[in-house]
């Protein structure tokens, strides 16, 4: 008889115990906006997203990629700088010299590109999952697709849903996204064993389970209010749509990149 599979939700990236994550399945959420941007990039045919912890690491990765391209060049036929998008924010504001990682802007420009992405919370959370057996990226846009992929897997390992939070603080929108993901898992396979944190996230979602509810929660959340103050209403509206994308972003830690399965 197959053992009951377990789901737990971690409320902030700072609570991740990398030793305890070893061998488990990690699902990272930063609804506003890192994982929504990653999902959007891969849905709109970006070649890959390269998550980094800060601007310095982003520049170093770009240098390494350019140097490698030069070494492998054959008659000048090698990837150009234009094949990369250097994107990042720090505290919700664009990093100088980087493009602001806005999902509504990026969906029009990422096809065939590699996106090097530095964010305050989401990409840092991804960096904490290297010990996991598998790491996936989820958002409201693709939570159902990620849940379906994991539910089909015959692996018996526990699923750890990581809410990135915001600069050490709990984020309402991430917890809501975790609830939507847990709900989606249960719709596919009802026998999941939920921790209290996972059950509480589920109850939050069940009380607010429409796109209109999602939009209201995102607008009321602290980070949502900050995004509105920056004039990014379109990003907020775009982010609040539930289950509209089939893409499943997978973190290939060995190659330091996120790709669509």
- 85-94, 174-183, 211-220 — which is least confidently predicted? 85-94
Helix (H, G, I), strand (E, B) or coil at 199: helix
136 has pLDDT over 70: yes
CATH of segment(s) 6-255: 3.90.1560.10
Mean pLDDT of 26-52: 98
218 has pLDDT over 80: yes
Contacts of 78 (CB under 8 A, 6+ apart): 69, 70, 72
The percentage of the chain sitting over the pLDDT mark of 70, rounded to a whole number, equals 93
Helix (H, G, I), strand (E, B) or coil at 47: coil
Tokens describing residue 238: 């775009």
Q: What is the dihedral angle through the alpha carbons of 30, 172, 201, 215, rounded to the nearest 10 degrees?
A: -90
Mean pLDDT of 140-147: 98
- DSSP β-bridge partners for residue 50: 116
pLDDT in tens, 73-116: 554 555 566 799 999 999 888 999 999 999 999 999 999 999 99
- DSSP β-bridge partners for residue 52: 118
93-94 vs 84-90, strand pairing mode: antiparallel
> What pLDDT shows up at residue 1?
42
- DSSP β-bridge partners for residue 109: none
> What pLDDT shows up at residue 101?
92
Query: What phi and psi, each to the nearest 5 degrees, are found at residue 137?
Result: -110, 130
Mean pLDDT of 36-43: 98
Tokens describing residue 80: 């150009």
- Degrees (nearest 5) of the Cα angle 147, 115, 46? 60
**CA gap 17, 204 in Å, rounded:** 25
Mean pLDDT of 236-255: 97
Mean per-residue pLDDT of the chain: 93
Mean pLDDT of 57-61: 94
For residue 70, what pLDDT band results from cuts at 50, 70 and 90?
Answer: low
> What pLDDT shows up at residue 67?
81
**CA gap 55, 35 in Å, rounded:** 18
Contacts of 81 (CB under 8 A, 6+ apart): 66
> What pLDDT shows up at residue 81?
63
């Amino acid at each position: 008889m197959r053992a009951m599979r377990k789901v737990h939700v971690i409320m902030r990236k700072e609570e991740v115990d990398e030793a305890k994550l070893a061998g488990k399945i990690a699902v990272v959420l930063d609804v506003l906006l890192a994982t929504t941007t990653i999902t959007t990039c891969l849905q709109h045919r970006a070649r890959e997203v390269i998550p980094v912890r800060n601007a310095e690491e982003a520049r170093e990765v770009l240098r390494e990629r350019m140097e490698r391209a030069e070494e492998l060049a054959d008659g000048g036929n090698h990837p150009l700088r234009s094949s990369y998008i250097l994107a990042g924010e720090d505290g919700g504001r664009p990093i100088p010299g980087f493009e602001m990682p806005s999902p509504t802007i990026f969906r029009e420009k990422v096809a065939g590109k590699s996106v090097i992405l530095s964010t305050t919370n989401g990409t840092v959370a991804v960096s904490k999952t290297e010990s996991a057996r598998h790491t996936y990226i989820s958002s409201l846009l693709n939570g159902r697709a990620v849940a379906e992929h994991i539910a089909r897997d015959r692996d018996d390992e526990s699923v750890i849903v990581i809410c990135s939070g915001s600069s050490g603080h709990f984020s309402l929108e991430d917890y809501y996204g975790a609830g939507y993901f847990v709900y989606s898992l249960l719709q596919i396979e009802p026998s999941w064993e939920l921790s209290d944190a996972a059950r509480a996230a589920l109850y939050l979602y069940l009380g607010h389970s429409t796109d209109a509810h999602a939009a209201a929660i995102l607008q009321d959340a602290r980070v949502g209010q900050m995004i509105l103050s920056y004039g990014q209403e379109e990003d907020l509206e775009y982010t609040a749509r539930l289950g509209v994308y089939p893409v499943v972003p997978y973190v290939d830690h060995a190659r330091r990149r996120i790709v669509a399965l």
